[in-house]
Structure 1
């Protein structure tokens, strides 16, 4: 194998593929990144990484001098290309070594045995596509509500429900539920399927999205075995697949209250800044208290001999005055997920879940993003 490549394009493809590599591989060969050029006339280098759960594949245009394949340490290669000077990159394989050059820089990498590397899973069947920017935003909005506790796998995933021309993304860690609905273009108009996707993999892929569309592929498109099989995403020459979490997601719609006792309307940016300031005196176990009246909300944290903070904001409030408390970070996660300038906070009672949404696009319409959060007792 021998080729030359643009430094930035090569580094981008390498860095993205390396994200799928396991930090502690079960066997040494899984730490490798495979580089393939199937045909000298193709002008395309394919990069891949796999750990039996997640696969990542990227393609980049190169000047091919000789086709071939090689397997090298993926994280080392990614670290090298991130620090290369701004010159074209050359790579050639000589026996058991890969020689990488860039300007006056020279690196020699040991190769890993290609014959021991597992075969990557094929991409599942395409089920539709969505605007990449909107999909990335949706993932960002729901991802904070996932859990890092592996003892209950369902909490570590984002549930994707494909229904007609809408996709619903939902996540929960038992203390809050985030739901985002977005438009997509299905391959089959009558599709009704769901997939519970590992949050880490979905988040890594979403961070790479910029413009265009993202293709979605699902091996259990009929929804009958959604906990089995695999899901795949494709965008701008990059592909990733991951096994689905074998668990049923909660039925969350019934947990959102149909009737509320009070509602507040407040500028998102102002409330986010106030929460961040007041929360400076609150540790993880200290609630942030909000006292709503007809025209203002008082934010407080700390008490007694502890550090204390208080701030007052103007709001539009309907209902009886209410005092409610939240984990500051949970409150911020909901507010920063709102895309509109104004947030709507709906309350049932001081000890009942509250719902945060953005202002709907049209009066009486359903908001795209909903965030239910449990209050803390004070």
Structure 2
């Protein structure tokens, strides 16, 4: 449970909210605020949403004590006011008042909320309200220190998030690590079997240019929900991180929407030593062929009775440098009779003298996640030296031959066969 920074609540004597807004604007805002409304509130008011009118804007605010969302909705000028409305009921009533109307007409319908009553030109219905003074205070939005492009930010998040652990006993591994340093936002996650690291170009404010790097740990499940609700945002995103002795928050500002997340400031795993500084051998493969071969290998292994979570595929190179990918069925006698799928591959760096005859074994689920994080026609695997005929060191996946990658790197630990 988060102990939020307490902010002055609106006066309990403040008049109930009154505003008029387009149905489409109100519907969109309610969809966005759903991110911060508990699915099963412990008490009814916890499932409420604060509606606060301020001139030509009505702000809808919600918080589940971990995430707070504020959406500003254009509204007709009117007196200020503030109310706590039941979110689930409000969402359903807003949808119900335009049932049966043409889509275009429904979108333009003016919805009026006044004195606990929701009205349109055709119908009117009372709303459930809660005492304003009993609603928990919301954390303040952290002013942005950098701005990033929305599509790049959400695209890189989608690549990194699958690498975070879902094991609740490994709290740190369920986090995503953000680091703001100068003109770069670095995002990384790991579950110890893999590491995903992405970079997003960031335009710092003047004050940020001279400040030390700022970092924060954000629950991956929270970021996954944000991607689901807001991942189509195409405009710029302002990012701010703030920490004090008892609380830490990161805010994302997207147009009329502000999302503030409670985060952790403890140290993340120091992952730099796991990333190779140089490539002993770089192997570029056709990504689609590799995906298809991995899926085929997974299907064959499960057909042979291998439990899905333990399925692996083994990459092997012959004397001519041809790569085959075969399922590992676990029985030495049967394994000797398995013939793999050929995958187009070229050694693009290093002599590769140690590659023929050596094997690389990877879990199919992890391998497919790694390959799906790229959209390029080819992917380059950076391999260390083989040991006793096996590649045991972590394999680095990049979109290009350069070991530094092009904004994204994916590190995967091989499975060691005995």
TM-score range, shorter-chain basis? Answer: 0.7 to 0.9
2:192 to 167, 174, 180: 174
1:325 to 350, 356, 361: 361
1:217 to 235, 240, 253: 240
In the TM superposition, what are the counterparts of 1:1-378 in structure 2 within 5 Å?
A: 1-39=17-55, 42=56, 44-63=57-76, 67-78=80-91, 81=94, 85=99, 86=103, 87=106, 88-94=109-115, 97-99=116-118, 101=120, 108-187=126-205, 188-191=208-211, 192-207=213-228, 208-209=230-231, 210-220=233-243, 228-281=247-300, 282=302, 283-293=308-318, 294-300=321-327, 302=329, 310-317=340-347, 319=352, 320-321=355-356, 322-348=358-384, 349=386, 350-359=391-400, 366-378=405-417
Report the count of equivalent residues.
365
Report the Cα offset of residue 181 of structure 1.
Answer: 1.3
Query: Where does structure 1 lack aligned partners over 5 or more consecutive residues?
Result: none
Structure 1 residues 34 and 300: CA distance shift in structure 2, 3 A? same
Report the Cα offset of residue 340 of structure 1.
Answer: 3.0
Structure 1 residues 106 and 296: CA distance shift in structure 2, 3 A? farther
Aligned to 2:6: none
Query: Where does structure 2 lack aligned partners over 5 or more consecutive residues?
Result: 1-16, 303-307
Structure 1 residues 105 and 252: CA distance shift in structure 2, 3 A? farther
Contact 1:289 1:324 in 2 (8 A): yes
| Equivalent-residue separation in structure 2 for 1:288 and 1:356 (angstroms) | 17
Aligned to 2:10: none
Structure 1 residues 144 and 66: CA distance shift in structure 2, 3 A? same
TM-score calculated relative to the size of structure 2:
0.78
Which protein is bigger by CA-based radius of gyration? Answer: 2
Q: Note the alpha carbon deviations across 1:141-188, whole angstroms, 9 max, x for none.
A: 110011122323211211111122111111111111110012111122
| Equivalent-residue separation in structure 1 for 2:40 and 2:311 (angstroms) | 36
| Equivalent-residue separation in structure 2 for 1:339 and 1:276 (angstroms) | 17
Structure 1 residues 124 and 66: CA distance shift in structure 2, 3 A? closer
| Equivalent-residue separation in structure 2 for 1:100 and 1:345 (angstroms) | 61
| Equivalent-residue separation in structure 2 for 1:81 and 1:268 (angstroms) | 47
Q: SS in structure 2 opposite 1:352?
A: coil
Structure 1 residues 114 and 292: CA distance shift in structure 2, 3 A? farther
| Equivalent-residue separation in structure 2 for 1:289 and 1:145 (angstroms) | 21
Contact 2:315 2:323 in 1 (8 A): no
Q: SS in structure 2 opposite 1:121?
A: coil
Structure 1 residues 314 and 189: CA distance shift in structure 2, 3 A? same
Report the Cα offset of residue 254 of structure 1.
Answer: 0.7
Q: More strand by proportion, 1 or 2?
A: 1
Q: SS in structure 2 opposite 1:148?
A: coil
| Equivalent-residue separation in structure 2 for 1:9 and 1:121 (angstroms) | 24
Report the Cα offset of residue 367 of structure 1.
Answer: 2.8
Q: SS in structure 2 opposite 1:331?
A: helix
Structure 1 residues 151 and 298: CA distance shift in structure 2, 3 A? closer
Report the Cα offset of residue 18 of structure 1.
Answer: 0.9
Contact 2:69 2:257 in 1 (8 A): yes
Q: SS in structure 1 opposite 2:311?
A: coil
Q: SS in structure 1 opposite 2:289?
A: helix
| Equivalent-residue separation in structure 1 for 2:297 and 2:235 (angstroms) | 40
Report the Cα offset of residue 330 of structure 1.
Answer: 1.3
Report the Cα offset of residue 140 of structure 1.
Answer: 0.8
| Equivalent-residue separation in structure 2 for 1:93 and 1:212 (angstroms) | 33
